[in-house]
Amino acid sequence: MNGWGVFSTIRVCRGVLFEYERHYDRMSRDAARMHVPFDVPAPELEKALLRLVAANDAFDATLRVAVVRNKGGLFEGPQVTRESDVIAFTTDLTNWGQGVTLSYVSHGRHASSPFAGVKVTSWAQNLTFYEEAHQQGFDEVILLNEDGQVSECTSANIFVIEGDKVWTPPLQSSGCLAGITRAILLEEIRVPGFTVAERELTPSDLEEGEQVFITSTTRDLLPVLEIDHQPLAQDPDTMALLRKAFSEHRDTYVASRSRRPSEKRVKQAGMSQPKATRA
């Protein structure tokens, strides 16, 4: 009821939990910051999540894992023995189309908050912003912080291409979440002739850029077509280069960790479960 927990959304690609280590590390940091007990070792949790993947036949899917605190507060349940629970679900991949249309939300993020950037299960505010965006004919919203700077979307980071630079808002001053896809672009992706880096961005930076795109575990890299019904410039060639580099990185990661069981092994193990299953 308190939403006292943290979570992460992981892309399952050919039976592999893509960038699992990064997701686990972020959940550990966020759990410590929110006083959420999280003592499941990374290898043990990975094994449990892979059992869920096999049970749900979710070898190319989206997986969400949450760590929920059970104790604390006046209305905690009686005779609670576990400090926390780990709960996970899988769902099918989503087709996000060719791009998204966005709108602005002022004061959507508080960059100075000590909990800025923590991926908590208290998600109702983001869901409300997202629902209102759809009610107004948009796909998502750009959340501005208390200084009017660009922070992020409700469930995606944002980038803009300016010449040979690809910019995204910095974590601390913008209040945005340290997205895994964002981190991969900053730390792993190398496209000749382009530099991916952080800097503070304003709405005008997005509107005057050569290409705006959003990133997330579920969307990869997705172009932004319009902001507040105003069409944006598009740079499909650069987008193609960035997407190709990201796809190659994922393929390399998956190939080095591939462990997908065969359909025969899954059936022999009796792993037939509902699509949403607790790990």
Host H or E run for residue 273: none
Comparing 5-93 with 100-254, is the CATH topology the same?
no
Separation in Å, CA 70 to CA 6, 23, 41, 49, 76: 12, 22, 19, 21, 7
Model pLDDT for residues 169-178, shown as the tens digit of each residue? 999 999 999 9
How far is the C-alpha of 177 from the C-alpha of 182, rounded, in Å? Answer: 9
Model confidence at 275, pLDDT cuts 50, 70, 90, reads very low
Q: Which tokens belong to 161? A: 């291409």
Domain 5-93 indexed as CATH 3.30.470.10: yes
pLDDT of residue 264: 39
Model pLDDT for residues 117-159, shown as the tens digit of each residue? 999 999 999 999 999 999 999 999 999 999 999 999 999 999 9
Model pLDDT for residues 197-251, shown as the tens digit of each residue? 999 999 999 999 999 999 999 999 999 999 999 999 999 999 999 999 999 999 9
Domain 100-254 indexed as CATH 3.80.30.20: no
State the virtual CA torsion across 157, 163, 164, 168 in degrees, nearest 10: -20
Q: Where are the domains of the chain?
A: 5-93, 100-254
Q: Which tokens belong to 62? A: 């989206």
pLDDT of residue 259: 58
Q: Do the Cβ atoms of 169 and 144 come closer than 8 Å? A: no
How far is the C-alpha of 213 from the C-alpha of 234, rounded, in Å? Answer: 10
pLDDT of residue 76: 82
Higher-pLDDT residue of 87, 73? 87
Amino acid (1-letter code) at residue 36 = V
pLDDT for residue 261 is more than 60:
no
Amino acid (1-letter code) at residue 7 = F
**Pairing assessment for the beta strands 5-13 and 61-69 based on DSSP bridges:** antiparallel
Instruction: Calculate ∠ Cα 176-84-271, nearest 5°.
Output: 95
How far is the C-alpha of 121 from the C-alpha of 126, rounded, in Å? Answer: 11
Per DSSP, the chain holds a count of helices (H) and strands (E) of 8, 13
Model confidence at 74, pLDDT cuts 50, 70, 90, reads confident
Model pLDDT for residues 192-206, shown as the tens digit of each residue? 999 999 999 999 999
Q: Do the Cβ atoms of 104 and 136 come closer than 8 Å? A: no
What angle do helix axes 20-33 and 42-55 make, rounded to 10 degrees?
A: 120
